[in-house]
A = this chain, B = another copy of it.
Amino acid sequence: MPASRLSRFEAFSLFAFRYFRFQTSLISFPILVSSQLLNNSTPQPLMTSLTEHLWFEIPNRRGFINITPTIEELVRKSGVSEGLCLVNAMHITASVFINDDESGLHHDYEQWLEKLAPHAPTSAYQHNRTGEDNADAHLKRQIMGREVVVAITKGKLDFGPWEQIFYGEFDGRRKKRVLVKIIGE
């Protein structure tokens, strides 16, 4: 291997390192493998991960927001072709779940959760003695779930025909976050 070729690899290496360092939330690990073995001179990234935090401030106590387009955009940004995408609420009175984007169904969820874990009387919950009035929100979130894990196949969320990702708020009127973590190659 002549010295001039090595130098070109070193230059690329440095470029790749600098490029990815300035993508603050995109942590990439472009491990370069010998072009002699792979029989071409394109460097091969082996594993990539992307971490993003989405912010929400729902004006009411409860609400559902379809966050699918945002997650799709992050999958594109990650460059991951085959992998897993974790989306989870970072707050314990909120949910991330997958279901139908149909307003009648969301109304049904709202009524059903209120029947299974009613907000009032707030004094019925020991948790509310701490000064909170959101004990019911901690219960509702267990029914709807904290997180979803979605497969990424050929660079896209591997979804069935009606699957949509929702942020479910049960104690809003304050800022809250959702974490998106993508790993794969």
Interface residues of A (CB under 8 A from B): 1, 6, 9-10, 13-14, 27, 29, 31-34, 36-39, 43-44, 46-47, 49, 51, 82-84, 86, 88-92, 97-100, 102-105, 107-109, 112, 116-117, 125-130, 135, 138-139, 141-151, 153, 158-163, 177, 179, 181, 183-185
- Residues B49 and A37 in contact, CB atoms below 8 Å apart: no
Tell me the minimal C-beta distance from A79 to chain B in angstroms.
Answer: 14
- Residues B139 and A112 in contact, CB atoms below 8 Å apart: yes
- Residues A86 and B88 in contact, CB atoms below 8 Å apart: no
Main secondary structure of the interface of A (DSSP, over half): mixed
Question: Given A100-B138, A185-B29, is A37 in contact with B34 using a C-beta cutoff of 8 Å?
Answer: yes
